[in-house]
Amino acid sequence: MLKLKSIQRGVLSINATPSSTGTLGTATATISSVNRQKAIVEFGGASATLSAKPAALELNSSTTVKAYVYLPSGDWSAYVPYQVIEYY
């Protein structure tokens, strides 16, 4: 049985400037250091203005979570909740 070491939660906010073709929006969050071999990042669902495409998350480094969302043409924003769970 795995023992839980820590849980870190947050929400990334992604804003895109107007574009005629859409844009890949990204945002990063700094977290307390985790062992990447013993940690996972979970997606908490995303909310966005109108029709932004699904988001993706990655544990970019031991201290960084990064979110990606394709935002269609226009001026859009998206909010991507995450949680990083680290085990012993």
Instruction: Please give the span between the terminal C-alpha atoms of the chain, in angstroms, as a whole number.
Output: 10
Q: Tell me the three state secondary structure of residue 9.
A: strand
Q: Which is more confident, 42 or 19?
A: 42
Q: Which is more confident, 26 or 50?
A: 26
pTM for this structure?
0.82
**C-alpha–C-alpha distance, residues 36 and 64, integer Å:** 11
Residue 4 pLDDT exceeds 70:
yes
Please report the domains of the chain, with CATH numbers, ordered by start residue. Answer: 4-87 (2.60.40)
Q: What confidence category does residue 6 fall into, taking pLDDT thresholds of 50, 70 and 90?
A: very high
Contacts of 1 (CB under 8 A, 6+ apart): none
39-74 tens-digit pLDDT: 999 988 666 554 556 778 999 999 999 998 887 766
Q: Which residues of 34-45 are buried (b: 16+ CB within 10 A; e: fewer)?
A: beeeebebeeee
